[in-house]
Amino acid sequence: MLQLYREVAFSPHSPRVRFRKCWLFSECFGLLRRSDRIPFTEDLRLRRRSPCAFSAFEHCGFLVRSKQLLNYNLSGNLARELGLLSHLEIMDFMWNVISGTIPKEIGNIASLKLLLLSGNKLFGSIPDEIGNLPILNRLQIDENNISGPVPKSFANLRKIKHLHMNNNSLSGPIPRELFTLPIVHLLLDNNNLSGLLPPELWLLSKLKILQLDNNNFSGSIPASYSNMTTLVKLSLRNCNLHGTIPDLSRMSQLGYLDLSWNMLNGPVPSNLAINITTIDLSHNFLNGTIPSTFNRLQKLQRVSLENNQLVGSVPPSIWQNRTFNANDTLILDFQNNSLTDIPASYHPLNVTVVLYGNPLCSNANQLNIVPLCQPRITGQAFEDPTTSENSCPPCPVDQFYEHNPSSIRSCQCSLPLGVGYRLKSPGISDFRPYLKDFETRLTTLLKLFPYQLYIDSHTWESGPRLHMHLKIFPSNSSLFNNSEVFRIADTLASWKIQLSDVYGPYELLNFSRGPRESDSSKARLSKGALAGMLLGVIAGAASLSVMLTVIIMRKHHGYYFISRKRSSVRTQLKLNGVKCFTFEEMVLATKKFCKSTQVGQGGYGKVYKGTLDDGRSVAIKRALEGSLQGSKEFLTEIEFLSRLHHRNLVSLVGYCDEQNEQMLVYEFMCNGTLRDHLSEKQKESLSFPKRLHIALGSARGILYLHNEADPPIFHRDIKASNILLDSKFIAKVADFGLSRLAPLPDKDGSIPGYVSTVVRGTPGYLDPEYILTHKLTDKSDVYSLGVVFLELLTGMRPISHGKNIVREVRNACQSGLMFTLVDNRMGFYPSECMEKFGSLAIRCCSDETDARPSMSEVVAELERVLQMLAEDDSSQEALATDSKTVSGSSLSSESSGAEPPVCSETHSVTGSSQEALATDSKIVSGSSLSSESSGAHSVTGR
């Protein structure tokens, strides 16, 4: 934080102790003050060699009350000496590149109120000793790679209000020990938590935000949650939940409800809180009609009910009984249901209704609803950067002065403070109607005039989170004085302001004085900003704190800024929750790359099974020396995987880029690839229900890439060996080495439907139009997935002995002989379900792009087939056998009480089982390429 240790203090009663072979303490301090003339990084190296550094730390460290090094590009490990800072109240190392584990000695700092470690590369488990902090108010360890369970010792955190542990790899159930705590915000989304949702969560009487998205829970939503009368936001997206939605009518404060991407059935809840802004129940099995009671909800901004089984008509009263202001918007997404009518009525420009994929669209011309029947991707309203007209003469560029667009003084040039500010869990979908209210509340809490705050930009990010760049201008002068800078910074960094509940918790990404800095969470402080802060008496205190931090960061040798000698790969990547392993760690994990640990090999290199220090099994993909294609695909895969979060996508644990080595580290997938299980050599074949679950899981992962990844992605190499199966046979799409970003909007706002690129991929899976035109589209992935469906249907390979699977199945269907090609090893299957699955696969493999379904239509059709399968009386026995095995997939039967199979650590997955990590793609259209089927690991949530 640019506040830079304002509260480094020394006791006036401390004796002047002469340290052995050291200067007097006061002399050390004076030297640090004089060293302000030394460049900052050189100063760090000089102070590390000071003979009194450790003694000074031991004798004065306990008097430091605040260590705030937010966004300082620090690396290395946190050391146990942090526990000596016995008076510390705020520990803020957010948005650096610190690795290693959280030292258990932090639990000794009884005075600690804020522990802020977000946005680093920490790994390992949370020490139980953190539960010893009696007055801890806020724990933020989100966006790391922390694993293991949530400690039961957290029961002792009697003052905790904010638990932000999202975007990690935490596992196990939510401990019951949390339920008596005064928690206000509980953010555990994007982890690997499992078990039932605890019914006792309703006992958290002060809870306002419960965000558990993208975890591996099971069971239904407890009925006791209807007693959460203080809850403002309930987000259980993609949590593998089933059953009906409980009565939510008593949640009178609920403003945001997201239960999408589950397996919920029953009706849409009708009695919701009057102030609710967002209802997302998409991608479930909800039935019945759209509630007309939504017309009471005057603050509604978005209703997403797409991909359900809703029937009846669209009630126009939802928008007819409402008065819209200029900035108000309402999005009603009802795609892919069974709606049959929409009464003729006028709807204002503020309202967007999407009906694509409903039966009523077959009569779109007669109903005059053609614009409503076009496919669309809906979500948070797009936010334009704030713009204003400016006729003033330019300000001095070299001093970074600028005009305040909101100033009451015309054309005054001043130097603003820049603030990277993000709402972590907002309770709205469109910020524009709330912009003025936000400005008023924030300036009031910061004790500023309204015209001093200017929101330079505000954009939605995945989560969803709202990222803003704020500019704060001086009031009656061109510059802030230092005390005012520190006051504003301290107020923001110490969480002394509380906005309205609708905005949820916020986080500070950076704070700069002078030139606007990058909003990246890993941006380094500018020299101008640093110089502006190291003024007067503050310089001495700041220098001392930096020296202490040098000592803390890996006591003797582990602290360093990112070396300029590292390879270009390191400097180009901005990773989120991905660990950078050393070469030595990889050697230890694989027993010196012993042949007995090798599980695969291909054009990219070899794949090893390794064991990390924390006991996790991983697949380590090691590039061959001199691999010409490996370097580019290495960069691509890390970049993609580090920011993709979905249950059905492979997730990256980390990477190694040392000693001319390039390695990717994934979770070890003990059930290998889908191709392994379709092989005739496999003793136990996949049943039909299990194959459908794998198909749906794969489709959902690809749908996420197309529709929800930011920006969207075309995979370009979907094949059976790139679909990995975990211990519960949950499908995870792997290998992003050939992926391409989807096209961005043109200047006129239109989005091209394709990307022009050299043809790459795997023969047998390639879209014919892509081969001919070099135009890659989302339907190219649909074609490839259709081929995988045909493999699931027949057990055949895409190309074998000169026969092409698409041509063979198509000819058989035209001759009425499709069932002769069905893989007879899958056992019982209802013929109607098999016909629908086969028909879908053939449509996906249509030669013409427009004839193929979209990925959302593929998902919806597979969900319907699985629903038919579940309702088929004769298939219940087969379903019961598989329900537990595929419980994490798209739809689970609850008829079986059997435990899921556990993969043994000694389970041999042969070379082919991990060849999604290393298989060769063939020569395509004269272009030689090596596929790097990524192996075995998963990325967080959806």
- What tens digit of pLDDT does each residue of 593-635 get? 988 888 877 656 788 999 998 888 888 988 876 553 455 666 6
Q: What is the CATH number of domain 213-300+302-379?
A: 3.80.10.10
**pLDDT over threshold 50, residue 352:** yes
Give the C-alpha separation, 605 to 165, whole Å: 35
Mean pLDDT of the chain: 76
Q: Which residues make up the CATH 3.80.10.10 domain(s) of the chain?
A: 213-300+302-379
> Among all chains, which residue has been given the structure tokens 């047998």?
764
DSSP string, 228-258: -TT-SEEE-TTS--EEEPPP-TT-TT--EEE
Domain with CATH 3.30.70 in the chain: 399-523
Non-local CB neighbours of 426 within 8 Å, separated by 6+ positions: 256, 464, 465, 466, 502, 503, 504
Report yes or no: 251 and 229 within 8 Å, Cβ to Cβ.
Answer: yes
pLDDT at residue 413 is higher than 50? yes
pLDDT of residue 555: 43
Judged by DSSP in three states, 887 sits in coil
pLDDT at residue number 199: 92
Report the amino acid identity of residue 52: C
Q: Cα torsion for 313, 319, 320, 321, to the nearest 10°?
A: 120
pLDDT in tens, 91-129: 999 989 899 999 999 999 999 999 999 999 899 999 999
Structure confidence by residue, pLDDT tens digits, 811-859: 888 888 888 888 888 888 888 899 999 999 999 999 888 999 999 999 9
Contacts of 585 (CB under 8 A, 6+ apart): 612, 613, 656
Q: Is 424 part of any known ligand binding site?
A: no
Pick the CATH number of 568-667 from 3.40.50.1970, 3.30.200.20, 3.40.50.620, 3.90.226.10: 3.30.200.20
Determine phi and psi for 779, rounding to 5 degrees: -75, -15
Catalytic residues: 717
CATH architecture of the domain covering 676-744+753-894+901-913: Orthogonal Bundle (1.10)
Q: How confident is the model at residue 682 (pLDDT cuts 50, 70, 90)?
A: confident
Comma-separated ranges of CATH 1.10.510.10 domains in the chain:
676-744+753-894+901-913
Is domain 399-523 classified as CATH 3.30.70? yes
pTM: 0.62
Long-range pairs, 258-264, Cβ under 8 A, ≥24: 258/213, 258/234, 259/221, 259/234, 259/284, 260/284, 260/304, 261/237, 261/700, 261/942, 262/236, 262/237, 262/238, 263/890, 263/891, 263/892, 264/221
